[in-house]
Amino acid sequence: MSAPVLVIGRSGQLATDLRVALSDAGRPFVQAGRPDFDLTDPDAPARLVDRVAPSLIVNAAAYTNVDGAESEPDLARALNAAGPGRLAAAAARARVPLIHVSTDQVFGESHDRPHGEDDPPEPLCVYGRTKLEGENAVREADPAALVVRVSWVFGPSGQNFVAKVLSWAAARAHLTIVCDQRGKPTYSPALAQALLTLGARMEAQGPGAPAGLLHLAGETIVTRDVQARAVLEASRVRGGPFAQVDPIATADFPTPARRTLNAVLDTGRAARLHGIALGPFGPDLETTLDRLIGPPKADAGQKA
């Protein structure tokens, strides 16, 4: 039997979709997460890599509570920076390709155009700073590693903005959603498949194997309020929760963590160098809600 793919992360959205993609492909894999594997344990990454002897490692684990990181910076740093750095060191020693997943929140608001891989990061919150520290730790420990920044990930698995909007709408008739934060919603199952495609090329170790920084995100640029309205309308025609969206500026909607208004990633490098381009938001949202709620109902369009 061939060596397994090692997925760091067990219950999270992307980790779940990586498990599904690997199972569908018939590839052996090992999924490591709490309570059996603790990324904050200094010795755990090396022990795990030695025990599993994988052909590829995909790190989909992170502290992802953006607001919570403001009050738990040490835990966020342990999970987002120190742990990934030790994992990268273990991967480098074992000569195993590593993909580390990062975030659009390493960027700030210095310009209005999409952020490219070569643009200087300027994180605005603890979460973004610790994820940037993790990128740097991974690349320093393992120069052959691939760091993939992703944006506004959603899908039928786990917690994400789409699921939150549905739960909010089930409880309230009006939702206040920021109208000046924009990004590219990214379908998690497609992202998982893209990561495994990149990983396979890293395993082959041929010329042009992916390494360094890469941006992966969906095709469509939207603001959060526009995204929420699309979710709610698609839910309504399925007989699911619906609410009115009241737009508000980020400055008038304070949260513990400051988020960038421009979370748009330039994904041209992924398309140009690796032939990978993820799809538009609309069809992926329809697929997600088909699974979460069911197909559209013939008479639902007549109901307000």
Task: Identify the CATH number of the domain in which residue 199 sits.
Answer: 3.40.50.720
Average of pLDDT values for 9-27? Answer: 95
pLDDT of residue 1: 64
Q: How far apart are CA 303 and CA 295, in angstroms?
A: 16
Structure tokens at 176: 């206040």
Which candidate, 24, 86, 29, places its Cα nearest to that of 203? 29
Residue 123 lies in a domain: yes
Q: Is residue 303 in some structural domain?
A: no
Q: Reduced to 3 states, what is the DSSP secondary structure of residue 17?
A: helix
- Supply the angle between the helices 224-236 and 161-171 in degrees, to the nearest 10: 60
Nearest to 81 by CA among 67, 53, 100, 65: 100
Asked if omega into 120 is within 30° of 0 (cis), the reply is no
Please tell me the pTM assigned to this model.
0.94
User: Residue 231: which H helix or E strand, with range?
Assistant: helix 224-236
Which position among 29, 127, 152, 281 bears the catalytic label?
127
- pLDDT score for 35: 84
Position 303 scores a pLDDT of 47
Active site residue 127: yes
pLDDT in tens, 128-181: 999 999 999 999 999 999 999 999 999 999 889 999 999 999 999 999 999 999
Number of domains into which the chain is organized: 1
Q: What is the mean pLDDT of residues 71-88?
A: 97
Q: Which two tokens stand for residue 167?
A: 């739960």
- The pLDDT tens digits for 181-231 are 999 999 999 999 999 999 999 999 877 789 999 999 999 999 999 999 999
**How many C-alpha atoms does 141 have within 13 Å on its Cβ side?**
28
Is 167 inside a domain boundary? Answer: no
Q: What element of type H or E holds 51?
A: helix 44-52
Return the pLDDT at 206: 74
Residue 245 counted as domain residue: no
In a domain, 150, yes or no: yes
Does some domain include residue 249? no
Q: Which range marks the domain in which residue 64 is found?
A: 5-159+184-219+263-280
* Within a domain: 149: yes
Per-residue confidence (pLDDT) for residue 304, from 0 to 100: 43
- Select the more confidently predicted residue: 183 or 35: 183
Q: Considering the domain boundaries, does residue 254 fall inside one?
A: no
Above 60 in pLDDT, residue 2? yes
Residues counted in the chain:
304
